[in-house]
């Protein structure tokens, strides 16, 4: 009975806090809705209205769809996300700064409202204030699409993915702000901590990755903008990552990020919400106007900023002279300066500075332990190499002579990357032998020191017969060759027929995929565009494949005089064949765009065919 | 009934309340007096549920207020610097409190708005300190609390408003048996308002007593002797403070007036007079007993 009464009372307290907080922030909600309208539907309407006027071609539904989706894909990360994140901070200050003033704490903590409903009521009011403008403006954006001949059935999934991602990450960011509000004692410290973690954490991961790769030969971390770890506790940085994770080509959030990214942020938001509520219930009211209510976030932030500045400054100084001593000078100077500045900001002076050096000691100890582990080969990581007999295949992702081998979806997101893969046993044995040579060469400077990374990079992925994958990443020195190319210890592998066939898009495409061919010979001035018949396409592909196997197609060689560009159909419908099989029998359409190749005047089967067909005239 | 049992509150190395124990009966007006930093405001905040005790407990009708909405709904705390929502006027504050306090009386609020000379539609933050206090008092009374906690509430109020406040609060006490705890350094105001006082010093309670009993139990004696007896002759009296100027002796003595007179008269004074102490004089005397070095401070 008592429990029921208490539950009813808590619900009422939550409802009243929610409604009051929402009422208090309705102006902010309206402003956000207006700014989002200007940033998304209004610009979208303008683009769509002007789209047809900017081209003389007949504007097909396909073109309307492309214009519509490209606009949304650009406007969301450039305008909608920044606006939303700014309002996350503004709303957080409005909702949670009451904890940071003794006078307001006297009022709010004396009210007959439990701490959980007080915090949750405000949090959910904040979510409503964020979600309502986002939903409204995405609905208008969809309505704009429907009012034009846009193929909405192909756009729904992407737009819903953008919407869900924006809602999820703004909720995570709001919970993060609430967490920081509870942990800090002043609003200034709250904002500094939000900025500190969101900027320092991704930088710390990037710099640690860079540092570790410089120190430990072969280290393969697979860190990329879409990696969860890169922004794992930085929702403000994570919000943008899916949009910049594909080499400059905007990609759909849902497709690029993957389910793991969504799952991580859902879990992160839920755990953060629970932790924030628990901490708020334990938070002492008297912490208001002191710098921190709980010391752990402060220590973590100080550690991150100290480490980031130390590593960053160390790497900058090292890059100027490639000298390890410079790295350590930069590391010590940068980390000490950052520690003192951070402590001075958080403690409002230098009174606590002496005590704070215990925290600096933790950083120094962590760095020394990490350095010692990496310099001694990370418990055998540097020499671990599989037996050739245990390897099913080895893919070698390195400097490619064969151009861009990426396959895109029709919405511009990356579907797959064609990577050279060796499966024949003698080739695998040769790859293992080359790998052993690289290890032996690196062992000459054991224990390892920070290395010069200026070289050609190769990534080896061993797919073992037991299903495991062993990855190693090397930067190896190279020698220039007389013909303008270069050789490395990996060159014998890259000259294997299997390597060249498996790593070149030309060996995967069908003649039917080709729409047109641009040919440009240096002696003939402007290029020529031709739309060959099927037989000519077949002959052209055969000639180019032959050149690829001979190593004739090489954009790195200086004596190339003929350039050829193959324009593929957009979109390309996959036929049964090698590419469809490589893509796992992908059922959708793809976009291959256009791919350019450089050819020498002599010794090229492709150039001979061009001459035979008269395309050089 | 309010009970503090070994109540302790610490701020880092400072112990603001050090195992204090006392009780306040329902329907009384209890004055909290004490030196600066004695723990008066800390006690009020702990009783209001703002602070969580570090030891012991404070109870309102047997229940602790911290994180207890039911208890808090019958309490209202006016802090020494009342906080109002940004840009809010009195009507908006009323709307805010009306949502949260189950006993909110709009009728009482409207009555009080007519009693106090305050514009309920003006922004409170633009008002003077005294007007802001009036706004806080109006909201507090309109929540119809069983227990009203006020910290330095007379500060900034003009004499007329102080009288009005006392009259309204006294009315609530007599009509609804509201309990009032008021912390103030303005002992003159407390003297004719409170029925009980508690003297706090360095986190402890030196005493808590009925005000009349307190005032009657401590007296100031002026007497002229020729010759002046040895000080040991006054020993049977419980003397708090002694001052001698030639043949004139001033004493602050604990005990009833009759008892003191009878003792003094045994020493054959030329002249003797026993006067009750004001609350301020009681406060100063007790503080000196408690080790408050007044001479050093004042000089």
- Please list the residues that pair with B17 across neighbouring strands: B9
Comparing B114 with B207, which gets the higher pLDDT? B114
- Please list the residues that pair with A595 across neighbouring strands: A566
User: A98-112, A231-245, B182-196: which has the highest mean pLDDT?
Assistant: A98-112
Distance from the Cα of A180 to chain B's closest Cα (Å) equals 21
Q: What is the CATH number of the domain that holds B247?
A: 3.30.70
Displacement of CA A420 from its chain's centroid (Å): 23
Distance from the Cα of A107 to chain B's closest Cα (Å) equals 6
Alpha-carbon span A286 to A281, nearest angstrom: 13
B184 and B247 inside one domain = no
B173 and B254 inside one domain = no
Contact between residue A239 and residue A78 where contact means Cβ atoms under 8 Å apart: no
Comparing B208 with A103, which gets the higher pLDDT? A103
- B224's CB contacts (< 8 A; 6+ apart) are B247, B248, B249, B269, B270, B271, B272
Contact yes or no for B99 and A19 at CB 8 A = yes
Residue of chain A nearest B11, judged by CA positions = A286
B287 and B148 inside one domain = no
Which chain A residues contact residue B79 at CB under 8 A?
103, 106-107
Transcribe A470-517 into DSSP letters: EEEEEEE--EE-TTS-EE-TTHHHHTSHHHHHHT-GGGT--GGGEEEE
Residues of chain A numbered 223-282 and touching chain B (CB < 8 Å): 281
A12 contact B CB<8A: no
- Report which of A185, A139, A175, A109 is spatially closest to residue A36, judged by C-alpha positions: A139
Which chain B residues contact residue A103 at CB under 8 A?
79, 81-83
* Residue B216 tokens, joined: 């009657």
Alpha-carbon span A485 to A456, nearest angstrom: 12
Which chain A residues contact residue B76 at CB under 8 A?
110
B121 and B236 inside one domain = no
Cut 0.80: pTM above it: yes
The runs of H, that is alpha helices, within A496-604 are 497-502, 534-550, 578-582
Contact yes or no for B77 and A113 at CB 8 A = no
Q: Which domain holds residue B15?
A: 2-213
Question: Hey, CA dihedral for A257, A259, A262, A268, is it positive or negative?
Answer: negative
* Amino acid A247: pLDDT: 39
Residue B15 — pLDDT band, cuts 50, 70, 90?
very high
B84 and B199 inside one domain = yes
A4 contact B CB<8A: no
* Amino acid A250: pLDDT: 40
- Report which of A506, A500, A440 is spatially closest to residue A476, judged by C-alpha positions: A440
b/e per residue A82-92 (b: at least 16 CB within 10 A): ebbbebbbbbb
Q: Identify the H or E element spanning B205.
A: strand B204-210
B226 and B205 inside one domain = no
Distance from the Cα of A276 to chain B's closest Cα (Å) equals 17
Average pLDDT over residues A97-126: 96
Residue A279 has pLDDT above 70, yes or no: yes
- A215's CB contacts (< 8 A; 6+ apart) are A371, A374, A375, A448, A449, A450, A451
B82-131: per-residue pLDDT in tens?
999 988 999 999 999 999 999 999 999 999 999 998 999 999 999 999 99
Among B188, B213, B238, which residue terminates a domain? B213
B60 and B201 inside one domain = yes
Residue of chain B nearest A10, judged by CA positions = B69
B27 and B161 inside one domain = yes
Residue A488 has pLDDT above 90, yes or no: no
Q: What is the number of structural domains in chain B? A: 2
Among B194, B213, B232, which residue terminates a domain? B213
Cα angle B187, B191, B194; round to 5: 110
B226 and B195 inside one domain = no
Among B187, B213, B239, which residue terminates a domain? B213
Alpha-carbon span A487 to B115, nearest angstrom: 96
* Amino acid A254: pLDDT: 43
Residue A601 — pLDDT band, cuts 50, 70, 90?
confident
Q: What is the CATH number of the domain that holds B44?
A: 3.40.50.300
Displacement of CA A582 from its chain's centroid (Å): 24
């Amino acid at each position: 009975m008592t429990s029921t009464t208490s539950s009813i009372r808590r619900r009422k307290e939550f409802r009243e806090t929610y409604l009051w907080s929402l009422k208090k922030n309705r102006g902010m909600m309206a402003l956000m809705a207006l700014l989002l309208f200007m940033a998304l539907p209004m610009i979208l309407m303008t683009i769509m209205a002007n789209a047809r006027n900017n081209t003389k071609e007949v504007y097909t539904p396909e073109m309307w769809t492309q214009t519509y989706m490209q606009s949304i894909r650009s406007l969301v990360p450039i305008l909608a996300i920044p606006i939303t994140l700014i309002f996350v901070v503004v709303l957080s200050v409005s909702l949670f700064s009451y904890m940071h003033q003794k006078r307001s704490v006297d009022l709010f903590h004396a009210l007959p409202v439990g701490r959980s409903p007080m915090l949750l009521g405000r949090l959910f009011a904040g979510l409503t204030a964020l979600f309502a403008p986002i939903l409204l403006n995405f609905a208008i954006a969809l309505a704009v699409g429907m009012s034009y001949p846009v193929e909405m059935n192909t756009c729904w999934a992407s737009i819903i993915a953008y919407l869900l991602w924006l809602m999820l990450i703004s909720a995570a960011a709001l919970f993060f702000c609430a967490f920081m509000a509870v942990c800090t004692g002043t609003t200034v410290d709250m904002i500094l901590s939000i900025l500190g973690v969101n900027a320092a954490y991704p930088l710390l991961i990037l710099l640690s990755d860079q540092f570790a790769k410089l120190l430990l030969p072969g280290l393969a971390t697979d860190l990329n903008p879409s990696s969860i770890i890169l922004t794992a506790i930085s929702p403000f940085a994570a919000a943008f990552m899916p949009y910049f994770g594909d080499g400059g080509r905007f990609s759909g959030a849902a497709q690029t990020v993957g389910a793991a990214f969504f799952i991580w942020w859902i879990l992160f938001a839920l755990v953060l919400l629970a932790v924030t509520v628990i901490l708020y219930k334990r938070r002492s009211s008297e912490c208001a106007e002191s710098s921190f209510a709980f010391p752990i976030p402060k220590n973590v932030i100080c550690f991150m900023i100290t480490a980031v500045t130390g590593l960053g400054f160390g790497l900058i100084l090292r890059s100027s002279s490639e000298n390890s001593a410079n790295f350590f000078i930069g590391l010590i100077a940068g980390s000490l300066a950052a520690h003192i500045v951070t402590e001075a900001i958080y403690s409002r002076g230098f009174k606590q500075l002496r005590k704070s050096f215990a925290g600096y000691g933790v950083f120094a100890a962590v760095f020394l332990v990490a350095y010692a582990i990496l310099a001694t080969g990370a418990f055998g990581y540097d020499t671990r190499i599989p037996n050739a007999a245990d390897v099913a295949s080895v893919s070698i992702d390195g400097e490619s002579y064969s151009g861009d081998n990426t396959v895109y979806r029709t919405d511009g997101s990356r579907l797959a990357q064609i990577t050279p893969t060796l499966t024949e046993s003698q080739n695998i044995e040769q790859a293992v032998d080359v790998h052993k040579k690289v290890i032996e060469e690196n062992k000459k400077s054991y224990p390892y020191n920070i290395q010069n990374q200026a070289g050609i990079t190769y990534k080896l992925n061993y797919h073992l017969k037991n299903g495991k994958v062993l990855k190693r990443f090397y930067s190896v020195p190279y020698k220039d060759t007389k013909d303008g190319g270069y050789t490395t210890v990996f060159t014998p592998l890259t000259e294997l027929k299997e390597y060249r066939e498996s790593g070149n898009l030309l060996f995967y495409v069908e003649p039917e995929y080709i729409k047109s061919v641009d040919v440009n010979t240096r002696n003939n001035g402007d290029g020529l565009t031709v739309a060959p018949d099927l037989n000519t396409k077949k002959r052209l592909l055969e000639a180019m494949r032959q050149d690829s196997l001979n190593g004739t197609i090489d954009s790195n060689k200086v004596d190339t005089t003929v350039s050829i560009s193959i324009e593929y159909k957009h979109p390309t419908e996959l036929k049964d064949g090698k590419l469809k099989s490589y893509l796992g029998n992908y059922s959708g359409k793809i976009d291959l765009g256009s791919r350019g190749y450089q050819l020498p005047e002599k010794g090229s089967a492709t150039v001979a065919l061009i001459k035979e067909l008269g395309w050089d005239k | 009934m309010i009970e503090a049992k070994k109540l302790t509150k610490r701020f880092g190395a400072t112990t603001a309340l050090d195992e204090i124990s006392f009780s306040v009966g329902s329907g009384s007006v209890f004055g909290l007096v004490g030196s600066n930093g004695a723990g008066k405001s800390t006690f009020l905040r702990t009783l209001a549920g703002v602070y969580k005790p570090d030891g012991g407990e404070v109870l309102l009708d047997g229940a602790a207020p911290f994180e207890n909405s039911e208890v808090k709904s019958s309490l209202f705390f006016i802090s020494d610097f009342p906080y109002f929502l940004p840009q809010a006027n009195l009507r908006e504050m009323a709307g805010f409190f009306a949502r949260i306090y189950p006993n909110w009386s709009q009728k009482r609020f409207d009555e009080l708005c007519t009693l106090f000379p305050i514009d309920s539609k003006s922004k409170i933050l633009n008002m003077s300190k005294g007007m802001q206090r009036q706004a806080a008092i109006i909201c507090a009374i309109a929540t119809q609390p069983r227990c009203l906690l006020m910290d330095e509430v007379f500060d900034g109020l003009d004499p007329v408003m102080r009288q009005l406040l006392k009259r309204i609060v006294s009315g609530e006490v007599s009509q609804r048996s509201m309990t009032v705890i008021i912390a103030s350094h303005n002992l003159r105001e407390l003297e004719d308002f409170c029925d009980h006082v508690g003297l706090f010093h360095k986190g402890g309670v030196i005493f808590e007593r009925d005000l009349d009993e307190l005032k009657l139990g401590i007296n100031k004696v002026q007497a002229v002797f020729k010759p002046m007896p040895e000080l040991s002759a006054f020993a049977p009296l419980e003397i708090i403070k002694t001052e001698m100027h030639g043949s004139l002796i001033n004493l602050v003595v604990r005990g009833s007036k009759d008892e003191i007179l009878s003792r003094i008269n045994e020493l054959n004074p030329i002249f003797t007079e026993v006067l009750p102490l004001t609350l301020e004089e009681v406060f100063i005397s007790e503080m000196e007993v408690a080790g408050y070095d007044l001479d050093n401070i004042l000089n």
